[in-house]
């Protein structure tokens, strides 16, 4: 304890304050420098984020942000976010009645586990974003099939790229990794409820993924499919395949299944697009659990659990792409609205194992409910599969043509 206090008193650097931004509203939270690194006062941080803090016995300290709980222990370089232990580079400290959190809580933990936060290290800004989960109004009638309205608020002023589609500024072609969900011994979901022509998810995802690949190639980008046959690829390997080949975008295709029971279950329908983040809603949690189930079918290769460090490093790499992934998800979701009979269930965030391993903007599209008889029929038809594939491919191409402009700098 004394050592820790001394450690604090040797504070020598004055790091810049943290800016917490929500839309136009800005709050400033002071940051304390020590020789070891930066700290931030738990109470001030929680207040700026609209959360709360509480003491627990034995030097435990808990910060609640919405339904996310982050727990730290004085002097211990680990944090618990929900049920996950996260290694920290510095321990939490106490100075009198003040509890100090390592700055990593701001730069890593909250964006990762809080849901709806984005940390920009260049401006030292923690942004609270409110557009993460959004349900779209019904699509406009006809006419504007493949160009969704510009995404992300200010996106309407994004300059259009003048170079041919599919090419990076460097002249290289983009590489899109297309992932057909499930496969081999893992069939994914089956439907529909109440009988009718049987739908098996792994077959639909492969059929649609192949068409997406075809459309993308026609659009001038390179494509890599994680599987082209009825085989099982470990969830973690799907992302790895994408990384190894330096993919620019990762798109995973899936068919949804109802989580409800009783007579309403079979009626559930619609399409939704996910990007990586901690799952927020009950429904997102359900889809996340369902899609992560494939791990059951995997042997050997899949072993991320024993290595929390690689997990968090992974995770921070992905976090840089969070907003890009969100934009891509919105573009795809809006595109689907131009022809899909089901309602838009919006853009969602969830923590899919398949998205977790990829170091690029990554989304997972649930193209409809295989449990609903009408939608199962729709998903089984070649013409619908082609419509879905064309729409996803066009959205990816649109997204890519804005990508470099948005990422900025143009030095990629």
Long-range contacts of 404-409 (CB under 8 A, 24+ apart): 404/161, 404/168, 404/169, 405/158, 405/159, 405/161, 406/155, 406/158, 406/324, 406/327, 407/324
Q: Please give the structure tokens belonging to residue 227.
A: 């599987």
Rank residues 183 and 188 by Cβ distance to Zn ion and give the closer one.
188
Rank residues 44 and 388 by Cβ distance to Zn ion and give the closer one.
388
Q: Please give the structure tokens belonging to residue 3.
A: 């050592």
Residue 370 binding Zn ion, by CB under 5 A: no
- Measure the CA–CA gap between 333 and 323, rounded to whole angstroms: 15
Kindly state the number of chain residues that form the binding site for Zn ion, as judged by CB under 5 A. 4
Binding piece for Zn ion, criterion CB under 5 A, among 84-92, 106-114, 149-157, 183-191? 183-191
Question: Residue 201 CB, nearest distance to Zn ion (Å)?
Answer: 5
Question: Residue 116 CB, nearest distance to Zn ion (Å)?
Answer: 25
Question: Residue 359 CB, nearest distance to Zn ion (Å)?
Answer: 22
Strands 38-41 and 98-102: antiparallel
Rank residues 378 and 403 by Cβ distance to Zn ion and give the closer one.
378
Q: Which residue among 91, 114, 166, 188 contacts Zn ion (CB under 5 A)?
A: 188
Residue 114 binding Zn ion, by CB under 5 A: no
The β-bridge partners of 200 are 190
Binding marks (x or -) toward Zn ion, 290..309, rule CB under 5 A?
Answer: -x------------------
Rank residues 369 and 403 by Cβ distance to Zn ion and give the closer one.
369
Residue 203 binding Zn ion, by CB under 5 A: no
Residue nearest to Zn ion (CB): 254
Residue 238 binding Zn ion, by CB under 5 A: no
Question: Residue 225 CB, nearest distance to Zn ion (Å)?
Answer: 16
Return phi, psi of residue 68, to 5°.
-90, 130
- Measure the CA–CA gap between 5 and 96, rounded to whole angstroms: 9
Q: Which residue among 27, 127, 254, 340 contacts Zn ion (CB under 5 A)?
A: 254
Return phi, psi of residue 8, to 5°.
-70, -40
Cα first-last separation, the chain? 47
Rank residues 62 and 286 by Cβ distance to Zn ion and give the closer one.
286
Which residues, other chains included, contact 67 with Cβ-Cβ below 8 Å and sequence gap of 6+? Answer: none
Residue 181 binding Zn ion, by CB under 5 A: yes
Look at residues 151, 125, 188, 158 and name the one whose alpha carbon lies nearest to residue 406.
158
Binding piece for Zn ion, criterion CB under 5 A, among 210-218, 252-260, 274-282, 389-397? 252-260
Question: Residue 363 CB, nearest distance to Zn ion (Å)?
Answer: 14
- Measure the CA–CA gap between 359 and 381, rounded to whole angstroms: 34
Look at residues 223, 219, 213 and name the one whose alpha carbon lies nearest to residue 165.
219
Look at residues 265, 313, 317, 311 and name the one whose alpha carbon lies nearest to residue 286.
265
Residue 183 binding Zn ion, by CB under 5 A: no
Contact 89, 100 (CB under 8 A): no
Rank residues 115 and 188 by Cβ distance to Zn ion and give the closer one.
188
Classify 246 as helix, strand or coil. Answer: coil
- Measure the CA–CA gap between 268 and 285, rounded to whole angstroms: 16
Place of tokens 């979901």: 189
Residue 321 binding Zn ion, by CB under 5 A: no
Binding piece for Zn ion, criterion CB under 5 A, among 105-113, 185-193, 220-228, 378-386? 185-193
Interface with Zn ion in residues 262-291 (CB under 5 A): 291
Question: Residue 257 CB, nearest distance to Zn ion (Å)?
Answer: 8
Rank residues 29 and 235 by Cβ distance to Zn ion and give the closer one.
235
Which residues, other chains included, contact 6 with Cβ-Cβ below 8 Å and sequence gap of 6+? Answer: none
Q: Which residues bind Zn ion (CB under 5 A)?
A: 181, 188, 254, 291
């Amino acid at each position: 304890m004394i050592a820790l206090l001394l450690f604090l008193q040797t504070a020598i650097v004055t790091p810049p304050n943290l800016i917490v931004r929500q839309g136009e509203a800005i709050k400033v939270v002071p940051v304390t420098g020590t020789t070891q690194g930066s700290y931030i006062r738990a109470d001030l941080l929680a207040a700026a984020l609209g959360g709360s803090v509480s003491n627990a016995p034995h030097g435990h300290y808990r910060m609640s942000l919405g339904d996310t709980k982050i727990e730290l222990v004085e002097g211990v370089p680990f944090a618990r976010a929900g049920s996950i232990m996260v290694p920290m580079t510095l321990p939490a400290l106490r100075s009198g009645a003040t509890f100090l959190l390592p700055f990593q809580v701001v730069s890593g933990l909250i964006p990762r586990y809080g849901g709806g936060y984005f940390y920009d290290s260049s401006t030292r800004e923690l942004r609270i974003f409110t557009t993460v989960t959004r349900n779209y109004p019904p699509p406009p009638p006809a006419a504007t099939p493949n160009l969704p309205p510009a995404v992300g608020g200010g996106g309407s002023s994004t300059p259009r790229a003048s170079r041919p589609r599919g090419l990076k500024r460097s002249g290289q072609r983009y590489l899109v990794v297309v992932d057909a969900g499930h496969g081999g011994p893992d069939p994914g979901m089956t439907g529909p409820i109440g009988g009718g022509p049987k739908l098996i998810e792994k077959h639909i995802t492969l059929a649609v993924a192949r068409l997406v690949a075809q459309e993308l190639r026609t659009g001038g980008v390179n494509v890599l499919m994680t599987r082209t046959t009825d085989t099982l690829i470990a969830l973690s390997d799907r992302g790895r395949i994408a990384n190894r080949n330096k993919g620019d975008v990762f798109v995973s295709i899936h068919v949804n299944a109802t989580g409800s029971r009783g007579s309403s279950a079979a009626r559930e329908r619609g399409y939704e697009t996910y990007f990586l983040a901690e799952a927020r809603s009950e429904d997102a949690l359900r889809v996340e659990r369902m899609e992560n189930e494939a791990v059951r079918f995997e042997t050997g290769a899949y072993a991320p659990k024993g290595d929390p460090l690689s997990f968090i490093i992974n995770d921070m790499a992905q976090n840089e792409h969070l907003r890009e992934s969100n934009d891509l998800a919105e573009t795809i979701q809006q595109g689907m609205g131009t022809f899909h009979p089901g309602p838009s269930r919006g853009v969602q965030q969830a923590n899919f194992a398949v998205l977790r391993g990829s170091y690029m903007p990554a989304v997972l599209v649930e193209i409809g409910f295989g449990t609903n008889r009408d939608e199962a029929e729709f998903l089984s038809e070649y013409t619908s599969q082609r419509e879905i594939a064309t729409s996803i491919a066009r959205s990816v191409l649109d997204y890519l043509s804005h990508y470099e402009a948005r990422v900025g700098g143009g030095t990629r």
